[in-house]
Amino acid sequence: MDIELWWFLALPLFFALGWLAARIDIRQVVHESRALPRSYLSGLNFLLNEQQDKAIDAFIEAVKIDPQTIELHFALGSLFRRRGETDRAIRMHQNLVDREDLSEEQRLQAMGELGQDYLKAGLLDRAEAVFAQLRDSRLNDVAMRYLLEIYQQEKDWAKAVEAAKALPDHESVMWRKEVANFYCELATSALASSKYDETQKYLDEAFSINRRCVRASLVQGDLLAAHARYEEAIDVWKRVESQDPIYLALVAERVMDAHAKLGRIEQGQTLLRSWLERHASLDLLDEVFHWELEKEGSRAAYDLVREELRRNPTLLGLDKLLEAALLHAPSEQRGDIEMVKQLIHGHTRRVARYRCAECGFKARQFQWRCPACGGWETYPPRRTEEYDLAP
């Protein structure tokens, strides 16, 4: 193999060029590292080690040294908000919004962060004002979702409807359910104020969005009952069985009151018993038990609960059975029954709550909207024990 003379001349040149390039890169790295505040690097190190308190102190020092670090302002503001230090987060993001050297993109981002700070702090009016300014910008969809949450917290259902319909996916199943509930809120408020025409208008809107809206059927029956049209109200409430039978427990009391107004209590009891036979429910059992006890006596109520307990054994059912037994038991046995009932009742308090199907939040009262996660119709009238026994 022949070796050309120029190879020997080129090799030193290549080494020299490589050494020169390396020196230039090293100088650039050193220059950039020196340009960054030392506290900035310390803050990053603290974050990586999950030492957030020390990281915040380091970042604050870095901002004092180099106030032009926009990204650091955003990072520090978000960190304050996650820690619950909303006052500091608000000041940080407000300073960004007020700066004149920000690009339009950065200003929109800063306003979005500021709106979230206000929302986290519970300053709903200020948060609403910020997100309203972001409408028709590139952050429009994000702003509308936050506005929707704000209007729900403020119970401004008309604005909530408007915000939900402005979302790009407002025709999805989820939003149909939510918007139908917004209209039901408006209908319930109008009915309470005896504004019957408005009530019907809102109910029509709710049904147009969700034909299977159980809540709209409940309010529709209430509207008919307010006009003493009890027969029609009963027919409307009966529709709930085909819409979602789990909500029959909410209808039971209304149905019996309407039958009582018509002088047909026995017919109402028969209807409730048929519902209970087809759709086991502790709340429905409680309503049937109440009317059986009032009209037929303690023995009939006892037999009803005993039969239901055989079909669906539950602690809450047993508690109801002991209540009926206590009423017609001989006086010498009542002490023992009362003692057992108190023991059982102590255990049933744990399983007598309602539970959100989405987040698992429990409460003693039924809610159309979960107080914890904000989900609509995720809080069905089923006791915790019924969930635990469900296959």
Buried b (16+ CB within 10 A) or exposed e, 282-291: bbbbbbbbbb
Q: Encode pLDDT of 37-81 as tens digits.
A: 555 556 556 655 666 566 656 665 655 545 556 777 777 778 778
Q: Note the CATH number of domain 244-352.
A: 1.25.40
Does 244 have pLDDT greater than 80?
yes
> Residue ranges per domain, the chain?
171-243, 244-352, 353-391
**Rounded Cα–Cα distance for residues 316 and 389 (Å):** 12
**Quick one: average pLDDT of 146-161?**
92
Q: Band the pLDDT of 22: cuts 50, 70, 90.
A: very low
Higher pLDDT among residues 173 and 185, named by residue: 185
| Numbered residues of the known binding site | 356, 359, 370, 373
Q: Band the pLDDT of 225: cuts 50, 70, 90.
A: very high
Higher pLDDT among residues 23 and 167, named by residue: 167
Please report the DSSP string for 130-184 in residue order.
HHHHTTTSTTHHHHHHHHHHHHHHHT-HHHHHHHHHHSTTTTSHHHHHHHHHHHH
Helix (H, G, I), strand (E, B) or coil at 381: coil
CB 288 within 8 A of CB 271: no
pTM for this predicted structure: 0.74
| Same fold yes or no, 171-243 and 244-352 | yes
Predicted local distance difference test score (pLDDT) of residue 207 = 95
**Rounded Cα–Cα distance for residues 154 and 123 (Å):** 11
Q: Encode pLDDT of 287-304 as tens digits.
A: 888 888 888 777 887 787
Does 236 have pLDDT greater than 60?
yes
Contacts of 138 (CB under 8 A, 6+ apart): 108
CB 325 within 8 A of CB 302: yes
Does 17 have pLDDT greater than 70?
no
**Rounded Cα–Cα distance for residues 147 and 127 (Å):** 8
Question: Which is nearest to 151 in space by CA: 167, 138, 137, 139?
Answer: 167
Token readout for 161 is 């409807």
Helix (H, G, I), strand (E, B) or coil at 225: helix
Helix (H, G, I), strand (E, B) or coil at 354: strand
Q: Band the pLDDT of 32: cuts 50, 70, 90.
A: very low
Higher pLDDT among residues 44 and 160, named by residue: 160
* CATH match of 171-243 with 1.10.10.10: no
| Numbered residues of the known binding site for Fe cation | 356, 359, 370, 373
Predicted local distance difference test score (pLDDT) of residue 84 = 84
Higher pLDDT among residues 8 and 192, named by residue: 192
